[in-house]
Amino acid sequence: MRRIVVIGGRGFFGAAAADLLRRDGLPPLVASRRPGAPGVDVVADAEDPASLRAALRSHDVVIDAAGPFQQRSTTLVETCLTIGCDVVDLADSFDYVKKVQALAPALASAGVRVLTACSSVSAVSAALVRLSGVQAPVRVSTFLAPATRNTSTAATSQSLLSMLDRPIRIVRNGSLVERRAFSETRAFDFPPPVARASALLAESADALTLPRIWPSLHDVDFWVDTRKAVLNALLATASHSGSFRSAVRAAHGVGRRMTKRFGSTSGGYGIEVEDVTGTRRSSGFLHSSHSYIVAVAPAVLAARHIAAGAFASAGLIAADRQIDPWELVGYLRELGITDFGIQGKL
């Protein structure tokens, strides 16, 4: 069995991935850029090649959870390419995934595996499209209702607020177009504890990854509901006012602390898939307190298979080939995550 190293293993999502690996009998090495921190096995900084070369070995399996990916370069991937490590990242950033995609020829030549956006975005999105049974989808709309009391970390808040600084990218009418983040609203109907939600337009790597798998897609968009009407209203207002955007950014530390105290404990992730006839199918995952597990489960499953020598493909792995959809459903059910709208049986 190969070593599994979790970069950013002391962060919220990195720690969750490490906990799941231990639960599965595969204790990882937890890597942090802070030497001497509790629970740290190796020192490694995702942006420092020297520290990565000192910490990693050939054939290691690296889970990259060092967010926010909006601020990241591809230093980790390029260093792992030279060492001979495989990388499974939890990237949610359009720009980061685009940079990784540009490395595809070098990754194929080196014979290493890189599974980028192996998280809710885009591994879960792709798995849910496969499970929908729609062979040629024309639209995929993804919905996130984060359990903000759990997930309101510095990295996640920076990820959200980074969308205010520039136009976001979505796919509309077959083209990649720019829009202002949080400037559009639409309703989604999901089962409790999420139920009916009013979500704001946001950005995700799905706009890059899904059309490569399904060229039939004309529209790919991503929607977020913070679960708090006031916070949704603040973001919507910030989308139209530069001065208000500055105020929101200035107050984000206070807002994050308030969200940690008063935010929602329940959450969910789902998609709505539309075929050429206009038929729509919705599906996804929900939990009253641990919905964030959906974000790390794909990386844990993929790392397990790679470490065991049961993942044959190499190079840049497409989102729909990173995990088996039914294995993901079964794994999440074991962890108490509720699914809805999924057709068929395990």
- pLDDT by residue for the chain (346 residues), tens only, comes to 899 999 999 999 999 999 999 999 999 999 999 888 889 999 999 999 999 999 999 999 999 999 999 999 999 999 999 999 999 999 999 999 999 999 999 999 999 999 999 999 999 999 999 999 999 999 999 999 887 666 666 667 677 777 887 899 999 999 999 999 999 999 988 777 767 778 999 999 999 999 999 999 999 999 999 877 777 787 777 777 766 666 666 655 545 554 555 567 778 999 999 999 999 999 999 988 889 999 999 999 999 999 999 998 999 999 999 999 999 999 999 999 999 999 766 5
Is there a contact between 305 and 267 (Cβ–Cβ < 8 Å)?
no
Residues in the chain: 346
The residues facing 156 across adjacent strands are: none
In the CATH hierarchy, which fold is given to the domain comprising 121-287?
Dihydrodipicolinate Reductase; domain 2 (3.30.360)
Write out pLDDT tens, residues 220-272: 999 999 877 777 787 777 777 766 666 666 655 545 554 555 567 778 999 99
> Nearest CA to 2 among 334, 327, 310, 273?
310
* Portions of the chain given CATH number 3.40.50.720: 4-119+293-335
Residues of the chain with CATH 3.30.360.10: 121-287
Domain made up of 4-119+293-335: CATH architecture: 3-Layer(aba) Sandwich (3.40)
Give the pLDDT confidence score for residue 232 in this predicted structure: 77
- Who contacts 192 (Cβ-Cβ below 8 Å, separation ≥6)? 286
